[in-house]
Every structure is written in C-alpha cells, then in structure tokens.
C-alpha cells in the first residue's frame, strides 16, 4: 500500500497530462475528460492524508494546487496554439506532481520534507492561478456576455482565498482573517480595474498576477525577520516597473 502511495504523485500527474492532451483532441467532450483530473487529484490527496491531517490543514496546504487544476481546466478553453497547450499540460503536471510529492513527504517522511515546502509552493502558484483565472474569466465575459458583477465577484473570491491560504507561519488566526479581508478588497479592485481597462485577455491576466502577487510579497514585511530596506526598494521598484511596462506595451482594444 505504501508503495502505491509513493508512486501516486507521479502517476496522477502523468495521467492528468494525458487527459489534457486527449481533451484537446476531443473538444466536443469538454470538460468531462480534463475534469477527471480534478477528481484524480482529490482521490490522491485523500489517499495520502487519510487519518493523518485535519481538514483545516488539508485546506490550507492543498487548496491552491486544487485551484490551479481548476484554472487550467478552464484555461484550456482559450488554448489556440500547440505551445499554449503544452504550457497548460506542463503546468498541470508540475503543479500536481510537486504538491502531491510534498504532501507525501509531509505525511510519511517528515525528515525529508523541506521547511514550509507546501507554503512556498502555494506562493509560487499564485501568479499562475491568477493569470489563468482572470484571463479565462475575461474571455467568458467577452464571449458569453456574463454580467460584469460575476467577473468582479470571481476576482474578489480569488483574492480572499489566495491571501488566506498563503498566510505567514507566524500569523495569528485574527491576522489571517484580516489578510483574508485585504485579499478580498484587492481582488475586487483587480476585477473593477479589469472592467475599465480595454486590454487583451492575456494582459488582463498579467495585471492581475502582478497586483495579487505584489500584495502578497508586501505582506512579508510585516513579520520578522523582515527583508532589508534595499530589498524592499528593489522589489517595490520591480513591481512598479513591471506593472508600468505591462500597461504601456499592451495592445489596447
């Protein structure tokens, strides 16, 4: 049984990549084929953590890889080129393999588990999740004429979940609730900005990724040990420059 669980991260990730490839070849069956990957992920997580973690721990450590799979399933709708397809497949494979592997180490081989390994992975997934979620939501807004409030609502919920599940290890429950509210406000503002900036779908995703990830990084300066002023100045400047360049070089519709 332990051998099966040990192989589960790679097998599940590989199967997911194959499912995405098949889904692209059978668009009439969307989203049923690639949607199986979400069920596989849930079953794999359940098999690894059964009786070993609380529901709260599971939510905090694995909900962002779960959101990544959902965002990639929806992102497959807008895939037009072979390169874009491979980016989705590789992102799904790597995200699922790493998250399940770290989860296995956390449950069975704690001595090999990197310090805050899943937390660090979750933070790294934030810009990818934000880009695919926002760009796909904009596509639904433009092509299916969804009400605007749904787009703003999606961004608000996304920001709330991202900021809650990437909390600093030293944060108290009350501080996590505050950051969850801040994430909600930032997400709502990202959605509101997206409605008023006539940018392409990919660029909407870039703006959302920069704003949501930048806010998360700024949170790091609240807790000790705080990065130096030089690092703070560099990172603040980099975020501003990246946002400005994205706006100025984007193709306005």
Per-residue pLDDT, 251: 67
Nearest CA to 93 out of 178, 21, 45, 151 is that of 21
The answer to whether residues 58 and 108 belong to one domain is yes
| Angle at 118 (CA atoms; ends 172, 120), nearest 5 degrees | 80
What is the rounded average pLDDT for all residues in the chain?
Answer: 87
| pLDDT per residue as tens digits for the range 36-90 | 999 999 999 999 999 888 888 888 889 999 999 999 998 888 888 889 999 999 9
Examine the fold and report which residue of 113, 129, 162 is the final residue of a domain before the chain moves on: 113
Q: CA dihedral defined by 109, 113, 115, 120, rounded to 10 degrees?
A: -130
- CB atoms < 10 A from the CB of 214, how many? 18
The answer to whether residues 214 and 145 belong to one domain is yes
Percent of the chain topping pLDDT 90 = 42
Q: Which domain holds residue 90?
A: 1-113
| pLDDT per residue as tens digits for the range 165-198 | 887 777 788 888 888 999 999 999 988 888 887 7
The answer to whether residues 200 and 141 belong to one domain is yes
What's the total number of domains in the chain? 2
- CB atoms < 10 A from the CB of 55, how many? 8
The answer to whether residues 59 and 167 belong to one domain is no
Query: Would the pLDDT of 253 be above 60?
Result: no
| Angle at 199 (CA atoms; ends 198, 201), nearest 5 degrees | 125
The answer to whether residues 34 and 96 belong to one domain is yes
The answer to whether residues 29 and 71 belong to one domain is yes
Examine the fold and report which residue of 113, 132, 161 is the final residue of a domain before the chain moves on: 113
If you average pLDDT over residues 203-210, what whole number do you get?
88
* Secondary structure in 3-state letters for 11-78: HHHHHHHHHHHHHHHCHHHCCHHHHHHHHHHHHHHHHHHCCCCCHHHHHHHHHHHHHHHHHHHHHHHH
The answer to whether residues 132 and 87 belong to one domain is no
Examine the fold and report which residue of 55, 87, 113 is the final residue of a domain before the chain moves on: 113
The answer to whether residues 80 and 91 belong to one domain is yes
| pLDDT per residue as tens digits for the range 4-40 | 888 899 999 999 999 999 999 898 899 899 999 999 9
């Amino acid at each position: 049984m332990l051998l099966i669980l040990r192989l589960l991260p790679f097998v599940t990730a590989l199967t997911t990549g194959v499912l995405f490839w098949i889904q692209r070849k059978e668009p009439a069956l969307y989203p049923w084929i690639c949607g199986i990957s979400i069920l596989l992920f849930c079953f794999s997580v359940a098999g690894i953590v059964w009786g070993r973690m609380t529901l709260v721990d599971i939510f905090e450590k694995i909900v962002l890889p779960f959101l990544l799979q959902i965002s990639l399933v929806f992102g497959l709708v807008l895939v037009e080129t072979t390169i874009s397809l491979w980016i989705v497949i590789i992102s799904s494979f790597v995200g699922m393999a790493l998250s399940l592997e770290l989860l296995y180490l956390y449950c069975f081989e704690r001595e090999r588990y990197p310090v805050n390994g899943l937390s660090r992975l979750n933070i790294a997934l934030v810009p990818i999740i934000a880009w695919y979620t926002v760009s796909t939501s904009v596509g639904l807004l433009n092509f299916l004429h969804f009400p605007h409030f749904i787009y703003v609502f999606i961004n608000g919920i996304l920001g709330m979940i991202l900021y809650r599940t990437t909390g600093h290890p030293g944060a108290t429950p009350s501080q996590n609730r505050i950051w969850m509210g801040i994430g909600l406000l930032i997400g709502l503002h990202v959605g509101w900005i997206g409605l008023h900036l006539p940018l392409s779908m990919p660029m909407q995703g870039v703006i959302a990724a920069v704003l949501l990830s930048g806010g998360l990084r700024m949170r790091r300066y609240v807790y000790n040990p705080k990065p130096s002023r030089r690092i703070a100045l560099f990172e603040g400047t980099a975020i501003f420059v990246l946002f400005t360049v994205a706006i100025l070089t984007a193709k306005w519709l």
